[in-house]
Amino acid sequence: MAYDLSAANETLLEFERLVREGKTAPWSGNLKVGVDLGTANIVVAVVDEENRPVAGMTTPSRVVRDGIVVDYVGAVSAVTRMKRELEERLGCTLERAATAIPPGILAGNVRCIANVIEGAGFEVSNVIDEPTAAATVLGIDSGAVVDVGGGTTGISVLKDGAVEFTGDEPTGGTHMTLVLAGFHHCTTDEAEEMKKDPKQESNVFPVVRPVVEKMASIVSRYLRSHPTDAIYVVGGACCFTQFESVFEKNIGIPTYKPEVPLLVTPLGIAMNA
Ligand SMILES: Nc1ncnc2c1ncn2[C@@H]1O[C@H](COP(=O)(O)OP(=O)(O)OP(=O)(O)O)[C@@H](O)[C@H]1O
Ligand SMILES: [Mg+2]
């Protein structure tokens, strides 16, 4: 039986609308805040006590690479700006925030990520792992969560609500952009734009398909020693319409993709705050 993502999708589409329109939704009780410092995007998500999306903001960013803060001052100023803007929209201050770390990150880098959040004026309520954040939004307690971000692909196997195994590979959307730029002899900025344009997907996907197949073979290798019966793909680089079918065909395990895969982990961080 196909896993039903409809409740998760409804929540994600509502969160996406709030982010896109710069709006807030009515809320009850205390607000929970999550900050996702990604390689490609910084996202701040706000939900209420019932885990309903209340507000959110996303900013393209180059201050973090694969979970490592490469521009501390830039990161603090970006998060500070986003905090201020959201507080203005909400008409209240946001004091505490949770953040997340990709699977397999070292302790020193965790501290550094927390320092950015604190530098922006938040008290860090907790630091959770990214797959757990995604699983909360998806409403799952078992299966493999594959987060294909800008710089890395994180693989996590969950069983009965616990993270049983995590792996991390240096491949993601940036790699797809490089392949596309090489193919078209254009700059990476041009390739990035082309890649994200839905109108160009039928020309783009055949070029980046080998990258997706390579990712699938990596995931498949991990899952051989950690068998599971469902794969959930999240992260911006799995936006392509055919992404999950390439995974499913190459790995042989049913693969599901929620709506707005870019926002799953950030929203889940707020839900776990
Ligand atoms: N519509 C789209 N089609 C294809 N790729 C996309 C699309 N939108 C975003 N991307 C890609 O998704 C990647 C960003 O995804 P995401 O925001 O999940 O990464 P991140 O969390 O910032 O990075 P990481 O998790 O690696 O630190 C970028 O490489 C971007 O080019
Ligand atoms: Mg990410």
Residue 197 alpha carbon, nearest atom of ligand 1:
1
174 C-alpha vs ligand 1 centroid, how far in Å?
8
Sorted by where each begins, the domain ranges of the chain are 6-128+262-271, 136-259
Tell me the best of 113, 145, 239 to mutate to test the pocket of ligand 1, counting ligand atoms within 8 Å of each CB and taking the most: 239
154/178 Cα distance (integer angstroms): 20
Residues 70, 77 contacting (CB under 8 angstroms)? no
- Joined together, the tokens standing for residue 30 give 């205390």
pLDDT of amino acid 1: 45
What CATH homologous superfamily does 136-259 map to? ATPase, nucleotide binding domain (3.30.420.40)
Task: For residue 268, give Cα distances in angstroms to 128, 138, 203.
Answer: 10, 9, 33
Share of the chain above pLDDT 90, in %: 82
Helix or strand or coil: residue 183? helix
| Ligand 1, atom 28: closest residue by C-alpha | 150
- Are the folds of 6-128+262-271 and 136-259 the same? yes
Ligand 2 geometric centre to CA of 156 (Å): 13
Q: Give the tens place of pLDDT for each residue, 100-150.
A: 987 777 777 788 899 999 999 999 999 998 888 999 999 999 999 999 999
Q: pLDDT for 156-187, tens place per residue?
A: 999 998 989 988 888 899 999 999 999 999 99
Banded pLDDT at 2 (limits 50, 70, 90): low
- d(CA 139, CA 31) in angstroms, rounded, equals 20
Residue nearest to atom 25 of ligand 1 (CA): 149
Q: What percent of the chain has pLDDT over 70?
A: 99
Instruction: Give me the DSSP letters along 142-173.
Output: SEEEEEE-SS-EEEEEEETTEEEEEEEES-SH
Task: Point out the ligand 1 atom lying closest to the alpha carbon of residue 67.
Answer: 27
Nearest to 219 by CA among 250, 198, 254, 245: 250
Tell me the per-residue pLDDT of 53-109, one tens digit each, with 9 for 90 and over: 999 999 998 888 777 888 999 999 999 999 999 999 999 999 999 999 877 777 777
Domain made up of 6-128+262-271: CATH architecture: 2-Layer Sandwich (3.30)
Whether 30 has a pLDDT exceeding 70, the answer reads: yes
